[in-house]
Amino acid sequence: MLCELENIKALMSDKGLHINHYKETILKRKIHSRMKMNKIDSCDEYTKFLYNNEDEITALMRSFMINFTEFFRDNQTYAFFGNYILPAIIQKRGKKSIRLWSIGCSTGEEPYSLAMLVKDADEKIMASIVATDIDRIAIDAARLGEYEDRKIKNIKKQYLKFFDPVSDRYRVKKDIKVIVRFLHHDIFSERLYGYFDVVFCRNLLIYLSKAAQIKVIKKIYNSLNKGGFLILGKTEFLPKELSDKFILNSLEERVYSKN
């Protein structure tokens, strides 16, 4: 399958998705899943099918988009952010402002959750959140900020005030929307200007090769203010090659600060 896999990588790269950054096992699983769906047994046949089918290229690309998300996912992580990180940044700066980056924001639940938490903690805090994803469809949905009832059913009552009911959906209020700026962004090939106090990069590294993990963390490191915080997913760890760049603040919540 090696030859065909390299051809598929090259094709997808031409289309703007560098799937070579993903773990080999992830690549094969996604490709085999699409082959099965199209009832294709041969990798060579599937490669030819891709070259002649734009819809399938789009379908394969979207299969690599990690779009599972929810409001206040992992409540303990948000509690740690609100009880420890937020006060630490405000105290260090001597003024009430904070800048955050949500990587792989998908349809917006994570950055909106952060905006609600900050707003609920202190309305005088000036928060600015940049939320990025490579999936343009997800970014458009995030900007719209409308969610089905099932999406907010587990949100604490104190945060429901940040939604307006619209027919059978709930829309994020404007005073929360203005805090978040959604951008289509490829973290592997595009630079994001500015420095951040906190970067949320949860559940991305687990899909990436070691080389890609290092590349992503280096970009995050260069985008953080001195002493700024990095928050990973609960099953993720920093590559040991970069462990001297960060201080571990919480192993349970996977929180690190820039050394």
On whether both 36 and 81 belong to a single domain, the answer is no
- Mark which of 63, 83, 100 sits at the end of a domain: 63
Examine the domain organization and report whether 20 and 144 are in the same domain: no
Q: Are strands 169-172 and 97-103 parallel, antiparallel or unpaired?
A: unpaired
Q: How confident is the model at residue 254 (pLDDT cuts 50, 70, 90)?
A: very high
Position 2 pLDDT exceeds 60: no
pLDDT at 4: 65
What is the value of pTM for the model shown? 0.88
Tell me the pLDDT of the chain averaged across its residues. 91
Query: Residue 81 is encoded by which pair of tokens?
Result: 């952010």
pLDDT tens sequence across 48-76: 888 888 888 888 888 877 777 899 999 99
Q: Report the share of the chain in percent with pLDDT over 70.
A: 98
Do residue 41 and residue 148 come from a single domain?
no
Q: What's the order of all strands across the beta sheet hosting 224-232? A: 180-184, 126-133, 97-103, 196-201, 224-232, 255-258, 246-250
Q: Do 190 and 106 share a structural domain? A: yes
Is residue 104 within 8 Å of residue 192, measured between CB atoms?
no
Query: What mean pLDDT comes out for the span 117-145?
Result: 94
- Residues 99 and 166 occupy one common structural domain: yes
With respect to residue 111, please indicate whether it lies within any of the assigned structural domains: yes
pLDDT at 3 over 60: no
Q: How much is the average pLDDT of 142-149? A: 96
> What pLDDT sits at residue 204?
93
As for how many domains the chain has, the answer is 2
pLDDT band, very low/low/confident/very high, at 250 (cuts 50, 70, 90):
very high
Q: Which two tokens stand for residue 204?
A: 């991305």
Of the residues 63, 94, 113, the one at which a domain ends: 63
What residue numbers bound the domain in which 153 lies? 75-258
- Whole-angstrom CA distances from 230 to 71, 97, 218, 247 are 19, 17, 12, 10
pLDDT of residue 214: 96
- Is 80 exceeded by the pLDDT of residue 17? no
In this structure, the answer to whether residues 172 and 229 fall within a common structural domain is yes
Average pLDDT value for residue range 164-173: 94
Name residue 183's beta-bridge partners.
132
For residue 147, the model assigns a pLDDT of: 97
Q: What is the CATH number of the domain that holds 223?
A: 3.40.50.150
Which H or E run includes 210? helix 210-223
Inside any domain, residue 70: no
125 in helix, strand or coil?
A: coil
Within a domain: 68? no
User: Is the model more confident about 111 or about 29?
Assistant: 111
Residue 189 has what pLDDT?
80
Pairing between β-strand 196-201 and β-strand 224-232 as defined by DSSP bridges: parallel
Q: What are 75's two structure tokens?
A: 């409540």
Residue 106, pLDDT > 80, answer yes
- Residue 69 forms part of a structural domain: no
Per-residue pLDDT of 190-206, as tens digits, reads 788 789 999 999 999 99
Q: For residue 47, is pLDDT > 80?
A: yes
Q: Tell me, rounded to whole angstroms, the distance of Cα 60 from its chain centroid.
A: 19
**Amino acid letter for position 119:** K
